[in-house]
Amino acid sequence: MRLNRYMAISGCCARRDADDLIVKGQVTVNGDVVTTLGARVNTETDVIQVNGKTVKPQHYVYILLNKPKNYITTTEDDKERKTVLELLNNLPTKRVFPVGRLDRNTTGILLITNDGSLTEKLTHPSFEVSKVYHVRLDRPVKPEDMEALQTGIMLEDGFSKVDKISYIEINDRISTDQVGVEIHMGKNRIIRRMFEHLGYQVMSLDRTKYASLTKKGVPRGHWRFLTSKEVAYLKMLPDKSES
């Protein structure tokens, strides 16, 4: 197995970060420093260490969490704010981390795992993982602004657009101040910033779908393990840059 993949499935880092550690001479195999990218290791007999600490492949867990407000998506926080990991009671392993981020006031689906390779894949732009949000605004969204969001607008960090947007139907009535947004861009706070750019205030933001995953059957603040079928689907997502 390639050394960087071994490091990734050991949960110590993503594969791209593993390459950096290797080049910097921070990885040893059987006591010898290895700086060659593409180096291979024997998974049964070789001892791999990163900064002097032995790493080994671990049991993977895949968790779908329905995130509530006022939790941050980091593993720890120096300001002592609540983190999403505090919601994972009786978890067999504590070495897990969120896939991507939801800001503190955003609710909904969050994937948590210790699979570094899958995390790298799902967060890489070339896979264009789709996310769906339920957005509630401070006032009705104008049809021309709906069109602008799909056509694309220029923000401070570049051109941004949604894939789909539509008004949400509630109790058999169209609510023009609530919209469903599908997007694959992964920029920080992208939904909030796009609406703020057009003069709207986001009152609530809830992620209802991530790739093929929905929060059905998972109440706010609760979680469940992914099924083997769900994990297999995520691992089979194609690289859109190769199509």
Report whether 235 contacts 72 (CB < 8 A): no
Residue with tokens 């919209």: 179
Q: Tell me the Ramachandran region of residue 195: left when phi exceeds 0, alpha when psi lies from -120 to 50, beta otherwise.
A: alpha
Q: What is the pTM of this model?
A: 0.77
| 176 phi/psi in degrees, rounded to 5 | -75, -10
One-letter-per-residue 3-state SS of 4-73: HHHHHHCCCCCHHHHHHHHHCCCEEECCEECCCCCCECCCCCCCEEECCEECCCCCCCEEEEEECCCCEC
Enumerate residues 6+ apart whose C-beta is below 8 A from 227.
none
Q: Which of 87, 52, 54 is nearest to 68 (CA)?
A: 87
- pLDDT, one tens digit for every residue, the chain (243 residues): 889 988 887 777 777 788 999 999 999 999 999 999 999 999 889 999 999 999 987 778 999 999 999 999 988 778 888 999 999 987 766 688 999 989 999 999 999 998 888 898 899 899 999 999 999 999 999 999 999 999 999 999 999 999 999 999 998 999 999 999 999 998 999 999 999 999 999 999 999 999 999 999 999 999 999 998 999 899 888 888 776
- 17 catalytically annotated: no
Active-site annotation holder among 20, 46, 77, 103: 103
Tell me how crowded residue 81 is: count the other CB atoms within 10 A of its CB: 12
- Pair 51, 13: CB distance under 8 Å: no
Taking the alpha carbons of 29, 32, 33, 34 in that order, is the dihedral positive or negative?
negative
Nearest-CA neighbor of 4 among 27, 30, 33, 32? 27
